[in-house]
Structure 1
């Protein structure tokens, strides 16, 4: 019988990118350990953890050092899968809950599994007046590019957390900036940081 006092565990898929809550990500899967991960997620109906690769060139086969991953990441749930023109498994995943990886172990097949602490869900709080510029910016971006998030503008544009995550997802930030923003719990603090990251005219 499993020990209910143990923290939850999550298989990790380190990537040279940051997945944020609500964002979609396309993946091509070919390494045996990650094919095992996808199969396990399908059987159990669970997600896996996406963490930013903090060094190396993103090739996990070059050695353990290149797969050092950030301690904070986002749970990815599989929305769709298929086969690409090259015969490889393709996935469409969606970011769900943020987590903090507390302890890491490596399975015999090389798959990293972490004991995780789930971060609190985003509070639903209205946008503050000082962040109105960011809402206007997001509205302009989404009206230009369209897509699924554009359909939610009318109902979510005053949601501080949603506006912040969509900007983290869509603005031309570098991955370390995205990672720092992912690790913030307060949506208003995240918006403050985003304001400071905007280019000055």
Structure 2
């Protein structure tokens, strides 16, 4: 199995998200050059769970996704501007030497079979996110737009894509985002996302109560 170029990041990216990048570090310039020579230029993106990628010694997650390069600008001197879209989920089977850049043996990891996820389940997630947004806006004197969680028809028709897109709009931490990404089945992803929304909601309520009491 061929080695996949990899780009460890400080954030967990979800399928469907856009990732703009400015590349200037020599090894990642080489990564971009190698990717652009591919029929489908793409590299893996994974969350750094401990440490920092620069300088080495980082700990990387074993679940990520492929970032497909859709636009690029060569600015010379090894500098690139990239526009990528995060696509299919992958699982890292083995990390290889970081020479000349991070590489790994990976495999596609589609959702495993599980309990069915119905439109009612997705509707429940949407209701919880809307309630969270409305609570935040009520404190700021704002009003929730009717299309706040609107998605394209092709996304709405695909429960997996729909849940990922909804998750991307929730202001949760990287650990929760990774838990959403790493859930083996769609049903488990819905449960993980629901828990994350409830956690964020509780934090918002705590912050509002603290502000009201002046503590």
TM-score, normalised relative to structure 1? 0.77
The superposition leaves residues 151-186 of structure 1 with CA deviations (integer Å, 9 ceiling, x where unpaired) of 60x443353212210122121111111111111131
Partner of 2:69: 78
Structure whose CA Rg is larger: 2
Q: How does 1:91-102 map to 2 (within 5 A)?
A: 91-102=82-93
Partner of 2:209: none
1:65 maps to which of 57, 71, 89? 57
Q: Aligned with 1:53: secondary structure? A: strand
Partner of 2:133: none
In the aligned structure 2, how far is the partner of 1:168 from the partner of 1:65? 30
Partner of 1:161: 160
The superposition leaves residues 56-107 of structure 1 with CA deviations (integer Å, 9 ceiling, x where unpaired) of 2x451x2x213x21111101100112368xx942111111111111111124
Partner of 1:131: 122
Question: Is the Cα contact below 8 Å between 1:135 and 1:163 reproduced in 2?
Answer: no
CA separation of 1:39 and 1:126: change in aligned 2, threshold 3 A: same
In the aligned structure 2, how far is the partner of 1:151 from the partner of 1:157? 6
Q: How does 1:13-28 map to 2 (within 5 A)?
A: 13-28=7-22
In the aligned structure 2, how far is the partner of 1:174 from the partner of 1:33? 29
Question: Is the Cα contact below 8 Å between 1:127 and 1:159 reproduced in 2?
Answer: no
Tell me, which stretches of 5 or more residues in structure 1 are unaligned?
1-6
Q: Which runs of 4+ in 1 moved over 6 A?
A: none
CA separation of 1:49 and 1:90: change in aligned 2, threshold 3 A: same
Alignment partner of 1:119 is 2:114: no
Question: Is the Cα contact below 8 Å between 2:46 and 2:61 reproduced in 1?
Answer: yes
**Alignment RMSD, CA only?**
2.9
CA separation of 1:59 and 1:170: change in aligned 2, threshold 3 A: same
